[in-house]
Chain A
C-alpha cells in the first residue's frame, strides 16, 4: 500500500453539498452567544447559526439587520465542536467574504437580514464555503441552486413561531416538483419559463423527482410537533430560530425538538417529548405582520 500523492480539491460541489448531507435528520439552532451554543450542542443540535438577534427580536427592534460581529462568531466557534453557520445579507458578497475568512462552515444568505441588493443574490460559485438559501417555491429554489447554493431551506416566516408559512412553502415546492415529474418532455420548456428557473435544473428535477441539493425547513418551527409535521412533509432537517430560546424552558425544548426530528414518524416518541414542556414561544398571526421576511429575495 502506498499513500497517493494525488491532488486534493477543496470547495467542490460534492464536499459543499456533502456537509448538508451530514446534517440531515438534525436540528440547526439559532444562538446569540456561546452559552446558548453550548446548550444547543448539549441538546444534540447538528449545527448552530450564530447571529446577534434571533428573528423575533429583529422584528421587534426594527432597523437594519446585518451580519454579526466577527468576535461573537469566533467566540461561538471556540465554544462548540459542531459546525457553525452565519448569515450574510442577500446580495452582500463582502459580508460573505468576511464569513468565509472567519472559516464559518456554512453561509446563510438570508432574508432575515435586511437585503443589500434588490436584484441580485450573491454569486456563490466563487466561494469555497457552501451556502444555504431560502425559497418559497421551486423556481426560487432552482434560481438559488443556479447561483451556487448547496442547500435549500423553505423560508417559512421567521420569528413568528407560526408554522403555517413553512408548510405552505414546503407543500408548494413539493407540488411543483411532482408537476415536473409528471410533465411530458414538451411541457418542460414552458414549465421552466413559468418557474423562471434554469432549464437544465428543471430537467434534472423532472428526471429525479427531487432537488439536486438537500431540502431543509425553516421559519416558524417552535414545537416538537412542528418538527414532526415538516419532516413528514418531506423536509430533511430543520432550522429552529426563535423557537428554542424564546420558549419557557429552552433546554427541554431543544432536547425535545432534536428527539422529535429523529423520531418524527413515531407519534409515541413525539408525544412523550411534547409532554410537560412548558409554553412554546408566544408567536404571531402572520396576517398581523408589518414585514413579511419571506417576500425578500427574488
Chain B
C-alpha cells in the first residue's frame, strides 16, 4: 500500500514517520505526477493559506481535485481538514477548499496560539487518544452523510473533532504530533 503525504509545507515528517511505523510506504507529493499510483493521501497540518497557494503554483490543485472526485482515500489534519471542507469561515475572502467533506469549519475556531491546547479524546472504535489542538479549526456543522468519530467539549458544548465521509477523513487536531498511531491505523485500515 502507498499513502502519499502532501509535502508543500507543514508537519510532513511526522505523518511520514507514523505511516512508516505502520509499515506503509509514504512517498512525498510535491508535483502532479506524484499522485499516480497512490492508494491514499494525507494532507498535513500547516498553514492552510500557504498550502492552498502552493497547490496552485505547483499545478496540484486540479489533479488532486480529480483524484478526490474519483474517491481517493484522504486524511486531512488541521490545515488538511480546512482544505477538504465544504465551508470555511474566518478565512481569507478568497479562501478556496475542495468541498470533499461536508462540514463547515471556522479557522482558528478555538482562538489564537495562546488558546492552543492538549486534551484527551474518546474516539469511536479506538478509545482514548491524546488530542493536540494548535490554532485549530472548529467544526461548526456537519452534513447528514458525515460520521462523527470524536467530539470535544471546550466548555461550550460538544463539537466534532474527528469526522469521516466515506473515504475522506478530517481531524481538527494533530494525531501525528503524538506517539499514538491509532488514528493513522484506523485510516490506513479503511483503505
- Chain A residue contacts of B132, Cβ below 8 A: 14-15, 18
A150 smallest CB distance to B (angstroms): 11
Mark interface residues in B119-163 (1 if CB within 8 Å of A CB, else 0): 111101000100011110000000000001111111000100000
**Of B42-50, B96-104, B182-190, the one touching chain A:** B42-50
CB <8 Å contact, B152 and A4 = yes
B57 at the interface (CB under 8 A from A): yes
CB <8 Å contact, A1 and B149 = yes
B108 nearest CB neighbor, chain A only: A81
CB <8 Å contact, A1 and B151 = yes
**Of A40-48, A116-124, A168-176, the one touching chain B:** A40-48
B26 smallest CB distance to A (angstroms): 16
Alpha-carbon distance A14/B158, docked complex (angstroms): 24
- Chain A residue contacts of B114, Cβ below 8 A: 10-11, 100, 103, 105, 128-129
A256 smallest CB distance to B (angstroms): 10
Mark interface residues in A106-146 (1 if CB within 8 Å of B CB, else 0): 10000000000000000000001110000000000000000
A237 smallest CB distance to B (angstroms): 9
B174 at the interface (CB under 8 A from A): yes
Contact with A25, one of B8, B113, B121, B154 (Cβ below 8 angstroms): B8
Mark interface residues in B12-47 (1 if CB within 8 Å of A CB, else 0): 111000000000000000100000000000000111
A23 at the interface (CB under 8 A from B): yes
- Residue of A2, A9, A26 ringed by the most chain B CB atoms within 10 A: A26
A7 at the interface (CB under 8 A from B): yes
B6 smallest CB distance to A (angstroms): 11
Mark interface residues in A53-66 (1 if CB within 8 Å of B CB, else 0): 00000000000000
Give the B-binding residues of A (Cβ under 8 A).
1-12, 14-16, 18-19, 21-26, 41-47, 81-83, 100, 103-106, 128-130, 255, 258-259, 262-263, 266
Other contacts beyond A3-B122, A19-B134: 9, CB < 8 A = A11-B114, A15-B132, A15-B133, A18-B177, A22-B10, A22-B134, A44-B50, A82-B49, A263-B30
* Interchain residue pairs with CB less than 8 A apart (28): A1-B122, A4-B119, A8-B154, A11-B114, A15-B116, A15-B118, A15-B132, A15-B133, A18-B11, A18-B177, A19-B116, A19-B135, A24-B9, A24-B12, A24-B13, A26-B46, A26-B47, A26-B50, A41-B49, A41-B92, A43-B53, A44-B49, A44-B54, A46-B9, A81-B49, A83-B113, A129-B113, A258-B57
